[in-house]
Amino acid sequence: MLDVLIIGAGPIGLACGIEAQKQKLQYQIVEKGLLVNSIYRYPQNMTFFSTSEKLEIGHVPFVSHNPKPTRPEALEYYRRVVMKYQLNLKLYEHVNRIKPEGKTFEIQTDKATYHARNVVMATGFYDHNNRLGVPGDDLEKVHYYYSDPHPYFGQKIVVVGARNSAVDAALECWRKGAEVSMIIRESEISERVKYWVRPDMNNRIKEGSIPAYFNAEISEITQDTVKFKHEGQIQTLPNDFVLAMIGYKPDFKLLQQAGVQLQPDQQMKPVYNPETMESNVKGLYLAGVVCGGLETHKWFIENSRVHARIIMDSISG
């Protein structure tokens, strides 16, 4: 019988494991993919918005050679954290079911069955992408994740979205030889875009290097075109690839299966007590970005690291 089973091995799941270890709780971390899976799936050349000290967990110094740390540096850092604490961690193990049994839980994965007095869901959101919801959005040319600009060299690409991931992809692909256009539902590039990148993007749009269609919406994708609504008309662009950088969402299915209530009128935010991070299901806690429901911009590593201490203090009493 574990004191706590932690689902998710992102930075916040690791922070929960470290805090459980410090408080001498019997714990296990289970992750369906690889270590810090979301960070691994970021673009290869991505630079974080935050400084390195704001990404630290477990009082392990994060030393970066840059003013803002990069994806490779973050991967190295979190590997080092796991090795330092020798965390009880199982990777590539998918949780299929969380079943309350009185005052405990039975957790079934594709490899084992666990019993725990408490469960922490630190499942993030990056593995569940939003869809365009138009004909052709499942074609092989439509990519919902972006990693590297090289495959798009010499190609006509449409980038959908107006936030950091879309802007980073558009600028990098353009600089590496792609013909880039942007289709944006909003009226401008998001103000949440990194402050040193947003002016760059706006300047490329103003000079015509990257055409941007604002207040526009894709209506259909074919093998060689993209059709979209703009200024009351349907327009067509010749196209080789679509990068749909339109965001991600938590695994609501697992939350609901575990009995966690969601608030449809509150952006599908799960019900929890902010003083303990305990959900409406007694003994089941939430940590990290999953707490925000569809508002995935609310919680980050920087402001949710504290969830680990709050949760383990509640569990240990």
Nearest Cα residue to 124 out of 297, 280, 249, 230:
249
Is 43 in contact with 175 (CB distance < 8 Å)? Answer: no
Longest dimension (CA), the chain: 64
CATH topology of domain 142-244: FAD/NAD(P)-binding domain (3.50.50)
Q: Give, for 217, the enclosing helix (H) or strand (E).
A: strand 217-221
Give the per-residue pLDDT at 168: 94
Burial 92-114 (b: 16+ CB within 10 A, else e): ebebeebeeeeebbebebeeeeb
Beta-strand pair 262-263/179-183: unpaired
Length of the chain: 317
- CA gyration radius, the chain: 21
- Would you say the CATH fold of 142-244 matches that of 4-128+248-316? yes
Amino acid code (one letter) for 96: N
> What is the spatial distance between Cα 115 and Cα 98, in angstroms, rounded to a whole number?
10
Is 286 in contact with 305 (CB distance < 8 Å)? Answer: no
**What's the pLDDT tens digit per position in 32-58?**
999 999 899 888 888 888 899 999 999
- Provide the residue ranges of all domains of the chain, joining segments of one domain with +: 4-128+248-316, 142-244
4-128+248-316: CATH, from 3.40.30.10, 3.40.50.300, 3.20.20.80, 3.50.50.60: 3.50.50.60
DSSP state, residue 167: H
Give the per-residue pLDDT at 45: 86
Give the per-residue pLDDT at 287: 97
| Helix axes 71-85 and 11-22, enclosed angle (nearest 10) | 20
**Which residues of the chain carry a pLDDT beneath 50?**
none
> What is the spatial distance between Cα 275 and Cα 5, in angstroms, rounded to a whole number?
20
Whether pTM > 0.85 for this model: the answer is: yes
